[in-house]
Structure 1
Amino acid sequence: MKDFESVLVTWLFDPTVAKIIFTVVGILVIYAGVKIMRRSFARRIKEPSTRYRAHKLIGFLGYIAALFFLVVVFNRQLGGLTIAFGVAGAGVAFALQEVIASLAGWLAISFGNYFKTGDRVLMGGVKGDVIDIGMLRTTIFEIGGWVNGDQYNGRVARVTNSAIFKEPMFNYSGDFPFLWDEIVIPIRHGSEVTVVNDILNAAASEVLGEFPRQAGITWEKLRSTYLLEAAQVAHSVSMTLDENWMTFTLRYVTDFKFRRSTKTKLFSQILTGIEAHKDVVSLATSSQEIDITRVPDLTVSQPSNAH
């Protein structure tokens, strides 16, 4: 029994054991502090995206604090391994260059205003809504693919953050959460051009609602940050023609989340308007039509009887 007590006392007063215990306690204190701060910020911050960024930032600061704490505790042991760490670090840096690039990408995304959670982006060949930004990968809920239109297809993609350095990254909803879109309507020759214009303008005015006004306000704010010209956010109608038909194009601005539903409503209103004026407006088709308006006069001559 005395031997066990002496061993226990010796073990407890050993400097290495004391450092290990101190390290474990310190890490637990940092972990508890991170948990408390996250809960406190979660109660105070109501906006989801801001709360998410605060949650991630607190976690990152917790990792930094833990790393700094370990360096302070074991600084003497680490001092003698400086050269070894330098050589090993060069090899590790070469082997983990993709990981290091992803960490650099995470810093660029976090502090460079590339995008945030909730934005719709095209990154690394994947288009969708950002649902998480990690230190190595960005998680995207994909849209498109085998699904026509800007709709979710149910697939979750994880793209390395280093992708922002390798190819262009498109943000569809960051500073300007609106998109310009177009509808093309082929109209037969002989239709009333004025009536077609009225149908398209009426449909746009009814369906678009507040989108043009909101887009105009956002665009003016954007001009205070970037060197941009004034943009036409109100809808417009243009026309071209060839030997087959007249082509009317309705250009309009809409919220990036409602692109497909807006186009559906516009087509519905336009078809209703054309049907109401079918006596003067007709849709053109690529099929061949033969229109016989008059049967030519036929003269049949009787052969004369030769005697």
Structure 2
Amino acid sequence: MLEQIPAAISELNLSMPALRLLGTTVALLLIVLVVRAVLSKVIRTSIQSTELRRKWLVQTRNGLILIFLLGLVLIWGQELRTLALSIVAIAVAFVVATKELILCFIGSLVKGGARSFDIGDRIQVKDFRGDVIDQNLLATTILEVGPGKLTHQRTGRATVIPNSLFVSEPVINESFTEDYVLHVFTVPFKRDDNWQLAQKVLLDATQAQCEPFLETARRYMRRLGDRRGLEVPVVDPRVSLQVPLAGEIHLVVRFPCRPSQRSAIEQAILMEAFANNDFSGVRKKGSEEDQGPIDPERME
């Protein structure tokens, strides 16, 4: 029994600061109540006007409440600072622990506010590319298209992209023009190949594939340009030249089509162009030897 007395005394000493604060708070409350009672009695007895009396009573009450709150802040200031630091530490830990979730919510707001894409659009974010099939506050689900960035065949795999990527990464929407898109693919050739013939054959094949819907695509692009205030792009099929390296020629084929027909029309153009044509530029042996030595006078 005697051994428990020191422990009780130590606990009492630990609680003494809190008891002092509580006692001071009660004393302040009593003082405020007494002062209010005295002032109210003085106001009721000395002021005859009803409106002026009510005004002074209200102002006195509000002033005493303000004084009481300031007194509480002075009395409990140290404890309030400790509590505030604890709340801040808890808030920081909560933010650090849920940073990815918060970024996902922010990415969802950015995506919705910018109207970057909708269900059914084909998008690319970083190395993820596919058709959007679902989206919510945390993630966006796409059906992967590939392999690579130039292929338009579905791989059968679904990719769930966290919306936090939309905060820091650009989004490429390949279905921006909706009903009709301008599809582009590249056919590489060597400099010695007959790329002139390949250019003509590819253009003829592209025009033949696009002829059934070319006028419809033109009207659609004109309406789209008028609705969105954009410059109307040239819809006619074209085959352009690029020289990425000194010994290479790339033919860039561009044509309009519906988003779902990109891969089929591209394959049809390539099959038609390469099925009955040989674009290799290999020269026959002896073709240069038969010409004999070059006469310098003829060069002049």
Q: TM-score, normalised by structure 2?
A: 0.53
C-alpha separation in 1, matches of 2:155 and 2:134: 18
C-alpha separation in 2, matches of 1:240 and 1:110: 38
Report the Cα offset of residue 296 of structure 1: 8.4
CA pair 291-254 structure 1, distance change in 2 beyond 3 A:
farther
Report the Cα offset of residue 223 of structure 1: 2.6
Q: Deviations over 1:232-286 (max 9, x none)?
A: 11012446899989876543233333222212111222235x54xxxxxx5125x
The answer to whether structure 1 residue 230 and structure 2 residue 232 are counterparts is yes
The answer to whether structure 1 residue 290 and structure 2 residue 276 are counterparts is no
CA pair 284-244 structure 1, distance change in 2 beyond 3 A:
farther
1:108 maps to what in 2? 110
RMSD (CA atoms): 4.2
**Which amino acid counterpart does residue 174 of structure 1 have in structure 2?**
F
Mapped contact 1:211–1:255 kept (Cα < 8 A): no
The answer to whether structure 1 residue 181 and structure 2 residue 177 are counterparts is no
Report the Cα offset of residue 152 of structure 1: 1.7
CA pair 102-240 structure 1, distance change in 2 beyond 3 A:
closer
Q: Deviations over 1:182-236 (max 9, x none)?
A: 453759989796x766644431222124554444344334434555333111012
More displaced 10-residue stretch of structure 1: 237-246 or 162-171:
237-246
Mapped contact 1:187–1:248 kept (Cα < 8 A): no
Structure 1 unaligned residues grouped into runs of 5+: 1-82, 276-281, 298-307
1:291-306 alignment to 2 at 5 Å?
Answer: 291-292=286-287
Secondary structure of residue in 2 paired with 1:159: strand
Mapped contact 1:234–1:252 kept (Cα < 8 A): yes
1:198-277 alignment to 2 at 5 Å?
Answer: 199-224=201-226, 226=228, 228-238=230-240, 250-272=253-275, 275=277
Q: Deviations over 1:67-107 (max 9, x none)?
A: xxxxxxxxxxxxxxxx8997555642343122112112223
C-alpha separation in 2, matches of 1:154 and 1:283: 35
1:15-34 alignment to 2 at 5 Å?
Answer: none
Q: Computing the radius of gyration over CA atoms, which structure comes out larger, 1 or 2?
A: 2
C-alpha separation in 1, matches of 2:190 and 2:92: 68
CA pair 214-294 structure 1, distance change in 2 beyond 3 A:
same
1:123 maps to what in 2? 125
C-alpha separation in 2, matches of 1:190 and 1:131: 43
Report the Cα offset of residue 126 of structure 1: 0.9
C-alpha separation in 2, matches of 1:85 and 1:192: 73
Secondary structure of residue in 1 paired with 2:118: coil
CA pair 100-212 structure 1, distance change in 2 beyond 3 A:
farther
C-alpha separation in 2, matches of 1:248 and 1:145: 21
Mapped contact 1:119–1:130 kept (Cα < 8 A): yes
C-alpha separation in 2, matches of 1:105 and 1:165: 5
Structure with a larger share of its residues in helix: 2
1:64 maps to what in 2? none
| 1:159 alignment partner, one of 153, 158, 161 | 161
Identity across matched positions, percent = 22
Mapped contact 1:189–1:246 kept (Cα < 8 A): no
| 1:98 alignment partner, one of 97, 100, 103 | 100
**Which amino acid counterpart does residue 290 of structure 1 have in structure 2?**
K
**Which amino acid counterpart does residue 257 of structure 1 have in structure 2?**
S
Report the Cα offset of residue 128 of structure 1: 0.7
CA pair 140-235 structure 1, distance change in 2 beyond 3 A:
same
C-alpha separation in 1, matches of 2:274 and 2:205: 10
